[in-house]
Amino acid sequence: MSDMEVLRKQVRQMQEALERKNRELDALHFVWCDGGCETGTHRWTEQSITEDVVAEAERNTRRLRTWFENYKHREVRGWNTPRGPAEQK
């Protein structure tokens, strides 16, 4: 494989990784509406809500739930350390 082909492959991989990251970020910033909003969001956007964005939002929601359940589990056992000023007493 020539140097140019290696560079093209690296650029393509970086572009694909950036596209995945952008979908993840889009999914984090959407605030879903239950049907009363024309665009499906509570914020202005011209971006369409795609299956990819919905899948990322669902994945992030599952991660948040898992984190919270684990946090509660550690808290019961006294394993949590204060995470910020609001928890420091």
Q: Tens digits of per-residue pLDDT, 53-68?
A: 788 888 888 988 998 8
| Residue-range domain boundaries for the chain | 3-76
Q: How confident is the model at residue 37 (pLDDT cuts 50, 70, 90)?
A: low
pLDDT (0 to 100) of residue 9: 95
Residue 75 pLDDT: 83
Distance between CA atoms of residues 48 and 69, nearest Å: 32
Whether this prediction's pTM lies above 0.75 is answered by no
> Is pLDDT at 35 greater than 80 in this prediction?
no
Which residues is 81 bridged to in the sheet? none
Q: Which helix (H) or strand (E) holds 26?
A: helix 3-29
Q: What percent of the chain has pLDDT over 70?
A: 65
Indicate the pLDDT class of residue 88, thresholds 50, 70 and 90. Answer: low
Q: What distances in angstroms separate CA 38 from CA 42, 49, 50, one per listed residue?
A: 9, 12, 15
Whether residue 11 is predicted with pLDDT greater than 90 in this model: the reply is yes
Among 85, 23, 35, 34, which residue's Cα sits nearest to residue 60?
23
d(CA 27, CA 62): 13
> Do 57 and 26 contact (CB within 8 A), yes or no?
no
Residue 40: predicted pLDDT: 61
